[in-house]
Structure 1
Amino acid sequence: MPDVVLPCLNEAVALPWVLARMPAGYHPIVADNGSSDGSAAIAAAHGATVVHASPRGFGAAAHAGLTAAAADVVCFMDADGSFDPRQLPLVAVPVLDGGCDLMLGRRRPTARGAWPLHARLGNAVVAWRLRRSAKVPVHDLGPMRAARREALLALDLTDRRFGYPLEMVTRAAATGWRIAEVDVAYSPRPDGGRSKVTGTVAGTLRAVRDMSRVMTG
């Protein structure tokens, strides 16, 4: 069954909710990226494998979790509670069954404010450029996703910031992977907080900048 990589920075409130909903057989790996709120200890207390990732950056945490994984199929998911882990089979099963090589979860907001307009627009622009330049039929660079571990490592991903998810897709497309997407629910965080990426205009602009560098590099 899959390992589940959860990049984490100060998610002490959300982690118990997330880890309690992990499907049977799905093993969480919390990649702690320098949390100061006890996230690592909370994750360990709830049965997760904890790895410490540096330097600071989403890609650094995601890749540290990937290299620590041992399962054949690895899922990725935000640790802030915006996704319900019980939906992980939607992205994992098609990969486990051999139906595709990389499955992305296309976010479908469940409530107003779950996905702010500025974040949707930034994501739409990147997805449009990806469809046009790489001919990848996706509409969202979904943080919930799944692929086979050895194949992911062979992509030799180098971005350690917000460009990591896009680099995964572009390199997979260039290698001839079968890439697909499936709808997944996207909800407000259970703690009422804001995403570090999509929750602010500044965070979204940083992510778009990092992704643009991947597209042009």
Structure 2
Amino acid sequence: MGSAVLTAPRLRWACALSAAAAAGAWWFGDKAPYPYAQRSLLELPLPFLTSARLDAVLTPSPGERILEVGPGTGLQSLHIAPQLGPHGQLDILDIQPEMLRHVMHRAGQRAVPNIVPTHADARELPFDDDTFDAMYLVTALGEIPEPQRVLDEAVRVLTPAGRLVVGEFFDRHWIPFGPLHRLADAAGLHLSTRSGSTLAYLARFQPCARSQRSLRGPES
């Protein structure tokens, strides 16, 4: 046999090395925020983070005003907004205007009129206190520097009975459930339900009583 022909063990090693190289390129090439040029990958549904699971944890209702941070290409936006009805509103916020334009273009094509875009940083939400009935981030919180500030802002803009849903899936920017729970506790949020495992989960938090949060005083 010629030297150019790979034996079975060498072929297995070559395949393993190729797979490792591809995984490494994906892992280290995964940038935050997710680049608009690679937006097609955002259309792939993630296991355990399906629309049905999001509905079950977020429980959107007609007439509500909900904020989505990091909408990507609108996979969740175009599913949630119609459920809010003509008197409800879905605000979408992203630091990349290209993503917002993309979602709004798709919303126009599908005649979904109740989506309102905002170009801003999630660490400084440009909304008044007690504005939203709910807020959600699906595979977005880990892409934002200082996630604690995002959760603090969520508590501020949510109504006292509001809810925050965080969805995470294992990638380079993944936040395991344990650290997320600690961040939420520090922000004055308590866990109300969770779906999935730590590698792929949806968790719903709600603001603790305002009186309890005020006793904590300013953070040191």
TM-score by length of 1: 0.38
Q: Of the two structures, which has the highest relative contact order with CA contacts closer than 8 Å and spacing of 6 or more?
A: 1
Name whichever structure is richer in strand by fraction.
2
